[in-house]
Amino acid sequence: MINPNKSKKIFLLYTLISIGFIIFLSVMLILVIKPRNLPSLYSKDTSKAMRGNIISADGFTIASTSKLYKAVVNTKYIDPLKKELFVELFSIYSGMKSSEVKKKLSKRNGVVVLSYKINEKHAQYLKKLSYELRRYKVFLSLTNPISKIKSIHGLSIIESGESREYPYEKLLTPIIGYTHKIEEDGYTKTRGVKGLERRFEAELSSRQNALSQGKRDVNGYIILNKQSFTKQQLNGLDLKLNISAFLQIRMESMLDTMKIDLRAKEITIAIMDSKNGKVLSLASSNRYLPKKIKKKDYPSLNSSIIEYSFEPASVIKTLTFALLLDKKLINPYDLVNGHNGRFKIGNKMITDEHEFDWLSAENVIVHSSNIGIAQLAQKLNGSEFNEGLKKFGLSSASTPDLIYEKVGSVPSSIQLNNEIYKATSSYGYGIHSNLMQLIRAYSVFNNNGKMTTPQIVDAFIDETKHEIKIQNNEQIQVISPATAQRVKKILIKTVNKGTGKKAITEGLVVGGKTGTAHKVEKGRYINKYNTVFLGFVNDATHSYTMGVVVNEPKKSQFASQTAVVVFKKATDILVANNYLQPDIVK
């Protein structure tokens, strides 16, 4: 006989098991049917490519790009009991003051951007901090009122843009130029505005962002297989310059000192290898901080070396003389009447600083006689004079490496047929040029009659560190080698016996020509001056063309006391840094 109590217990147990099984099946069914926010089986990683660097000839990075990150936190998820801990740790890892962090957190309850300008180094620190803050449960797990799903929103470090950096601050400005910020889909990028930054915008700009996508593993990493897709990050090309940072620093320092000594508005200098056009230095006493441009810096944003066009005065005498000599219209030993310092052509009175009776044609250059060159120039017709000046590169862009150049002007053939125009143009009035154009023109006398184009950028460097050399521009034969050699000797004589004596450096071959010109304001000549010295300095193996412009020197209006002195100091720097080796017998 079966015990009724035992039967009841078995039935109850069976019932409980059945109910439990039904509940289990019901839950499983609900889980299958109910939509769920499952993590994606696929993942995608992106990384923005960056702007290329600008690198000096001696390997120093003058301009670079660093990534910027923003730090975002949702204040609702910060445990109130651990808020002070969060503030202090974030302050330590980010470099922000704790008071600033507290202020930002107190502004609103919800998503707060603590900083938009976190550099790459601090971003890495903060990513580690974010992990540690989760581990120590600084952030709460809260239920979303809509989805009813619990989640934790911690500290997020998000790539937000890029910043252009200039580690050596004012070095090589304004040649290097500067950038400004632009927004692209919420991402801050930089774009060149002036100088090399603008001229080589296409080459420096980032070329391709990195992209990886495909199935992920349990740790969230992309599984690289045939189904995954990867696109390489291609940053902008780097620019490698012919200019050495080491030399540039010394030239700029010298100009800063000379600007004070000469009480000048600005001093500029350009130095170029006469044979291949490689620019060693382009320096100005007026520079600025590319990251902190102020209103007082506005006049310095334009590079005076190519954007300041002026009447070059007596340095043009050399070009006029070379044209006459090349066309065999004069002989260096021809005698010219100096008219004792005063000579009238038409209704124009031409004067000389020093009175001369008679002097040879070559001494017209050596002693810089306006009267002498004005008479000699009459042998050129207007077309010959106009075409000759243009052949020397006046009124055309001097270098392909910079933009916004003011190319200046030369009088037309018709104007130069007029004897007064011809006379005044022969000694540099009525002509406008910039320093870079004059450097190019004077390279003719130090390069057997061939004109060399100034080359600032030597090569592009790609992702693999491969250098893509920039081809030199073809050299133009402006005058015959014989004419160039003759004029070169006259320029050496000008330094040794004429207006350029202060440029002499023992053991080096130095030649050049001075120029002093009234400045023009509102169409009238005023009592302010530009002083100029253009020439060359050579040793046994090196030959450099060099030019100096001193804008409004108050100490002296004479180039022999201003521009020539700067030229000499620049030569001393080249010697001290082994760019030149004087041939001195000890």
Distances (CA, A) of 312 to 108, 185, 252, 426, 562: 64, 50, 23, 11, 15
Residue whose structure tokens are 């002989």: 331
Token duo for residue 26: 């019901």
Q: One-letter amino acid identity for 130? A: S
Best CA proximity match to 278, nearest among 68, 57, 18, 67: 57
- List the domains of the chain with CATH numbers: 50-241 (3.90.1310.10), 245-289+303-463+479-576 (3.40.710.10)
Best CA proximity match to 239, nearest among 155, 176, 317, 194: 176
Helices (H) and strands (E) in the chain, counts: 17, 25
Output the pTM of the full model: 0.84
| pLDDT tens-digit profile, the chain (586 residues) | 556 666 766 767 777 777 777 777 776 666 556 554 444 565 556 778 889 999 999 999 999 999 888 899 988 888 888 889 988 998 888 888 989 988 988 888 888 888 888 888 888 888 888 888 888 888 888 877 776 777 788 888 888 889 999 999 999 999 999 999 988 877 889 999 999 999 999 999 988 877 766 666 544 556 666 666 677 778 899 999 999 999 999 999 999 999 999 999 999 999 999 999 999 999 999 999 999 999 999 999 999 999 999 999 999 999 999 999 999 999 999 999 999 999 999 899 999 988 889 999 999 999 999 999 999 999 999 999 999 999 999 999 999 999 999 999 999 999 999 999 999 999 999 999 999 999 999 999 999 999 999 999 999 999 889 999 998 888 999 999 999 999 999 999 999 999 999 999 999 999 999 999 888 888 788 889 999 999 999 999 999 999 999 999 999 999 999 999 999 999 999 999 999 999 976 5
Instruction: Give the number of other Cβ atoms within 10 Å of residue 420's Cβ.
Output: 15
- Residue by residue, what is the 3-state secondary structure of 414-473? HHHCCHHHHHHHHCCCCCEECHHHHHHHHHHHHCCCEECCCECEEEEECCCCCEEECCCC
Terminal C-alpha separation, the chain: 137
Best CA proximity match to 347, nearest among 417, 430, 419, 411: 419
Integer Cα distance of 446 and 178 in angstroms: 34
Integer Cα distance of 171 and 289 in angstroms: 9
Token duo for residue 154: 């911690």
* Burial class of residue 271 in the structure, from the number of CB atoms within 10 Å of its CB (0-12 exposed, 13-18 middle, 19+ buried): buried
Number of alpha carbons in the 13 Å side-chain half-sphere of residue 325: 28
Integer Cα distance of 321 and 314 in angstroms: 11
**What sign does the dihedral 476-478-479-484 (CA atoms) show?**
negative
- Cβ atoms of 22 and 14 within 8 Å: the answer is no
